[in-house]
Every structure is written in structure tokens, then in C-alpha cells.
Structure 1
Amino acid sequence: MRRLLLLSAFALLLAFRAPAAEQTVDLATGEWPPYVSQQLPAQGAFTEIVREAFRRAGYRVQLTFQSWPQTEWLTKTGKAAAAFPYRPTPERERDFDFSAPLMRANSYLFYHKPHLPHPPQQFKSLDELRGYRIAIQLGYWYIPMFQQHRLNTLLTPDEVNALRQLQLGHMDLVPMVLERGLYLIHNSMPEHEKEFGYISTPMDKDTPLGLMFSRNYPQAERIREDFGRALAQMEKDGSLKAIYQRHFPEATPPR
């Protein structure tokens, strides 16, 4: 009887010492290379940071790629704990909670060096760009700003088409997030990569990109807090910056 009691006590002690099983967390995202893509190593820099932070927090990530409207719907209805990458806006903050930024994005004006050998490297106001032809895409954040400053714009189907318009000399400038612009040039026209540059004056201040958390997912607040602590640890020990620089060695300054 005594031996049975000792064995039972030993088994109970082992149970308390056994590590807790990882909890699965459901996340949603979409294609936005080079930040997130099923075709990229580690599915992109943003995805690698997200997975590492959740791993440190004791979670296993279950990730689904969807269209961006579907991604937002899954998160709002509580079928996903969070979606990424998203920038906080007043409209979104009415329905979601946001993590601290994983990255900060800036948009720059790209140009084709042979057709614009002397671009305006520094400008204090967009009014100074009225003499340039600027390619834009429907729905982007900068359109109202360009309209306010009465810039000469032309709608193009997508950013790759806009870059080709630069190369042909049909347009002078195209606004793009820095890392995305460099990625598209490298992948869509690698033989002409050195022909492109970007104006050093950013069009916007650092835009935070983070996780957009559901308010309807089970234990969403605890998951968000666990993720936040792990992310802060990654920033403190330098691993957040290291992942960024490994994916974007050519992007300066690093964010």
C-alpha cells in the first residue's frame, strides 16, 4: 500500500513538472510580398517575426492565406485571433485591438535614372512636384493628398505597370513603400534594377504595421498580451532587427 502511494505521488509530481502543451492560435493574412507571401522564404519577414514571437509566448501558429476582405472578416467574427500586417486607423480601432508595431513602413517616390537624371532629391512640400508626371493606383492612401496639392497624376493598373511606365519614359515618379518597391524592381525587371532609384525624402512618417487582434476570439486579450511580451523581448535582444535585416539587406534605413 505504501509503495502504491509513493508511486502515485511520484506520478503526480511528474505531471506538475511536465511542460504545458503549446496552444494553437489561428491567424489570417494575405499576399503582400515582400512582407508576407506563400512563395517567399519563411513566408516573408513579417510572418517570420510573428511565428517567432508566438513561439516564444508558447503558441503554435495555424496560418491561413485569404483575400484581404476575407482576412478582416475572419478576424472580426472571431474565427481568427489576429490578422497581419495592418496599420491602425480610427475605423479599424472601433472593432479591433492592435499590437505594438513589428515594422514601420515609409513610402518613397521611385524614378528611372535614364529618364530622370536629376530628380528632386529633397523637397519640403508636395507642391514642388507639380511639374512631374506621377503614376498612381486606385484606392491608395496618397490619392487625396495628391489631389489636395493638385499634382499631375495618371492612374495605372498596378505598381509593376507603373514601374514599366517609368522605364518607358511615360511617367516620372511612382510612390511605393520602400521594401515593396525594391522587391518589385528586383523581381519584375532584374536586368534593369540599377536603372531605378528613389527620392530620399519620404512621403509619409513611419507607418506602424502590426497585428490586428479580434475581440471575439477565445482568450483574445490574453493572447495579445502574451504576444506583446514576446515581441518586446525580441526587440530588446535584437532578434526583431536581425530578421528585418536578413530579409531586407538593401533597405536603408532599417526599420
Structure 2
Amino acid sequence: MPGHRMYRLFLFVVTLFIATPARAEKVKVVGTHFNKIFETDAAGAFHGVAVDLLKKVAAKKNLQIEYAIYPWNRAQYLISTGRADILIGPYRTPEREKQMDFASTPFYTDHMVFYTTKDKPFAWNESLDLLKTKRILTIKGWVYGIKFDEIKDKLTIVEANDIETAFRMLALGRADLLLANERNAEDALEQKENKDHFIKTKKPFSFMQGYFAFSLKYKNDSVKKAIQESLSQLSYEGIIKKINKDYKLSFEPRVSIVPNY
């Protein structure tokens, strides 16, 4: 009977619709090599705190994440032009807030510490006058935060092109201190034969928070909102802290050090 055939056809279409999963939304995620945050192994597989977190977000929100590693400036350019959707790991600054849309929840914490050589021990005690007597190495292009920016014009700054060069300059006595984030510095030291030649201060100079940041040209507000909500939930549940701990990192989203100069 025609009516019966139409009913069966209707049931078939409904069943097909229910059985077909919704197509996953593609999200292009870029960054540069950040030790323990975003990197690849010998086989080329992506891993790190950011990757582990986004796996959980993707599973919750039916997203297909496409990763790519570029030099840092190139990755930022892809975000600014809308050729990529999310940038992994930038620190939040007023300048960058004009160029990208930061997630409300950070996902890792960097400790900014001073390094020196063993024969010239240094104890950081929040004294600006003490820093004024030192030649301080910084890395060209690195962001050091408001606390450092407020005092850098009063200091003797020596710039290095990268962290490896900075340690060589420190060993040669071209500066007294190196200010660097502990995560990247310790990774660089692991590659050096004379790594035991250097020591770091026990007390951090400051803390910096790392974020995911969206391209301002990314227009899928529902996906952006879903990712933001997932990150907030993962932070609330302690999952972000646990993933950081798995990589031997400490996540301190609310910590800050206020200058007392």
C-alpha cells in the first residue's frame, strides 16, 4: 500500500539521520615548539599539555583538531590573517589583545627565574637596587611581563638571540644574570655538557600565564564558546592542573607577584 511504503521510507530516513554522526568541526591550531606544552616526538606525533587538553575538548565538543608547528612569528602571522584559528601558548599582553582573542582560562604557568654561574651565586630578594648592579641577559622577542617592563629602563640589559646563546654568554661572563622562564631554560640546559655550571634562584622573579588565543577573524562563535566553556570546566575540575603535573609542571592560575619597589 502506498501509505505503508511511505511510512517505511520515513522510518528509513529518520534512522539514517540518527545513525549518521554530526560532522566534526575542523579547527586549525598552530604554535611553535614549546617544551612540554606543544612539541613533536621522533615519529612526528604531537604531544604536550596543550595537545592533551585539546584532545579532551575535542572529544566533548566533536571537534577535529589540525595541528601545525611554525616559527613563532609565522604562527602569529597565520592567526592575525585568519589562516589559522587558535594559537597555542602566548602570554597575555595589551598589545597581543589587539591582535587575537584570548581564552578566559590560562592552561599553564611559567616561572621566570634568574640563572647565574655557580661561582657567582645570587639570591633574589625583590631588591631593585640589587638588580641595578647587575648586567641582565634577556632573550630577544620574549615577553617578560608588566613587572619587568616597569623596571627594565633602570637596568643594564644584554640581549641574546636565543636561550642557548644566552647560556653561552653567561658562561663567558658577558652578563651577571640570565632571566628566563624555567621550563625553556631547563630544557636548554639538558642539552649542554656543562649544565652543572649554572644555578637558578629558588625564588621566582615573576609568574607568567600561557593561554590559547583565537584569531580575531575566526567567526564560529558557537565553537569558540564551546571551547571556552570546556577549558573553564577542566580548570574547575582540576584536570588542567593534573595534566601539567603529568609533565612535571605546576599550574598556578591565580598566582601573581606585585612589585614592591
- TM value normalised by structure 2: 0.79
Q: Distance in 2 between matches of 1:23 and 1:207?
A: 31
Equivalent residue letter for 2:187: Y
The unaligned stretches of length 5 or more in structure 1 are none
Q: Distance in 2 between matches of 1:216 and 1:150?
A: 39
In the alignment of these two chains, the number of paired residues is 244
Mapped pair 1:97 → 2:101: yes
Q: How far 1:195 moved relative to its partner?
A: 4.5
- TM value normalised by structure 1: 0.81
Change in CA separation of 1:216 and 1:154 when aligned onto 2, cut-off 3 Å: closer
Aligned to 1:26: 28
Q: How far 1:24 moved relative to its partner?
A: 1.1
The percent identity for this pair of structures is: 20
| Secondary structure class of the residue paired with 1:106 | strand
Asked if the contact 1:78–1:218 (Cα under 8 Å) also holds between the matched residues in 2, the reply is no
Change in CA separation of 1:64 and 1:111 when aligned onto 2, cut-off 3 Å: same
Change in CA separation of 1:140 and 1:146 when aligned onto 2, cut-off 3 Å: farther
Aligned to 1:64: 68
Q: Distance in 2 between matches of 1:147 and 1:207?
A: 17
| Secondary structure class of the residue paired with 1:201 | coil
Mapped pair 1:43 → 2:47: yes
Asked if the contact 1:87–1:210 (Cα under 8 Å) also holds between the matched residues in 2, the reply is yes
Mapped pair 1:112 → 2:114: no
Asked if the contact 1:54–1:230 (Cα under 8 Å) also holds between the matched residues in 2, the reply is no
Q: How far 1:198 moved relative to its partner?
A: 1.7
Q: Distance in 2 between matches of 1:170 and 1:81?
A: 41
Over the aligned positions, Cα root-mean-square deviation in angstroms equals 2.7
Asked if the contact 1:127–1:149 (Cα under 8 Å) also holds between the matched residues in 2, the reply is no
Going by fraction, where is strand more abundant, 1 or 2? 2
The unaligned stretches of length 5 or more in structure 2 are 253-261
Change in CA separation of 1:110 and 1:50 when aligned onto 2, cut-off 3 Å: farther
Q: Distance in 2 between matches of 1:27 and 1:140?
A: 21
CA-to-partner distance for each residue in 1:108-144, whole Å, 9 max, x for gaps?
112233x23x421x41223213333432333444585
Going by fraction, where is helix more abundant, 1 or 2? 1
The 5-angstrom pairing of residues 96-175 of structure 1 reads 96-99=100-103, 100-113=105-118, 115-116=119-120, 118-120=121-123, 122-142=124-144, 147-151=152-156, 153-168=157-172, 171-175=175-179
